[in-house]
Amino acid sequence: MKKEIINLTVNGTLHEISVEPQVTLNEVLREQLDLTGTKLSCGAGECGACTVLIDGKPELSCCTLAMTANGKDILTIEGLARDGELHPLQKAFVECGAIQCGFCTPGMLLTSKALLDENPDPTREEVKSYLSGNLCRCTGYVKIVDAVLAAATEMNKGGK
């Protein structure tokens, strides 16, 4: 099949990549760019494990054709910490016990980042509702929601 060249800015770095039309963003990130922090679980848009941010919005990389992300800005879990400094959400997830096996974690963290960017001071219900497409089999979600709320508090203190 015919390959095309696309440009993706991933975690701030511009990549020129040649892809076939049916290739997903998930495959490009994991197989071509070796960014394996983005997970693949259901592969069908049902679990949120593959979530990345495209131009700041949470998207399921398993259902996104790489071509459609041409020219866009992509944030994966590898880009969440800046200059060796963890994002407050990462700190909160670690400290609150929100991570068990960790397979849902990258997707949870990026979805949570999108939430806090949109709504810096969410209620518990709002967090639950925003994360409703992200499945976790380990934690029962309790400490994940706790962590998002803790990060929000921290960021609102001016932590940023």
Count the residues of the shown chain that bind ligand FES, applying the rule CB under 6 A: 22
Instruction: Tell me which stretch binds another protein (CB under 8 A): 53-61, 75-83, 112-120, 151-159.
Output: 75-83
DSSP type of residue 32: I
d(CA 91, CA 71): 31
Residue 138 as a binder of ligand FES (CB under 6 A): the answer is yes
Radius of gyration from C-alpha coordinates of the chain: 16
Task: Single out the segment in contact with ligand FES by CB under 6 A; choices: 40-48, 79-87, 114-122, 147-155.
Answer: 40-48
- Out of another protein, ligand FES, none, what residue 60 binds, judged by CB under 5 to 8 A for its kind, is ligand FES
8 A C-beta contact, residue 28 and residue 8? yes
- Specify whether the CB–CB gap between 48 and 107 falls below 8 A: yes
Residue 76 interacts, among another protein, ligand FES, none and using kind-specific CB cut-offs from 5 to 8 Å, with another protein
**Cross-strand bridge partners of residue 18:** 5
Tell me which residue of 77, 74, 62 sits closest to 23, measured CA to CA: 62
Cβ proximity of 155 and 122 under 8 Å = no
Contacts with another protein by CB under 8 A lie at: 30, 34-44, 46-47, 49, 76-78, 80-81, 86, 90, 93-95, 97, 99-106, 109, 127-129, 131-143, 145
Chain contacts with ligand FES (rule: CB under 6 A) = 40-43, 45-50, 60, 62, 99-104, 136-139
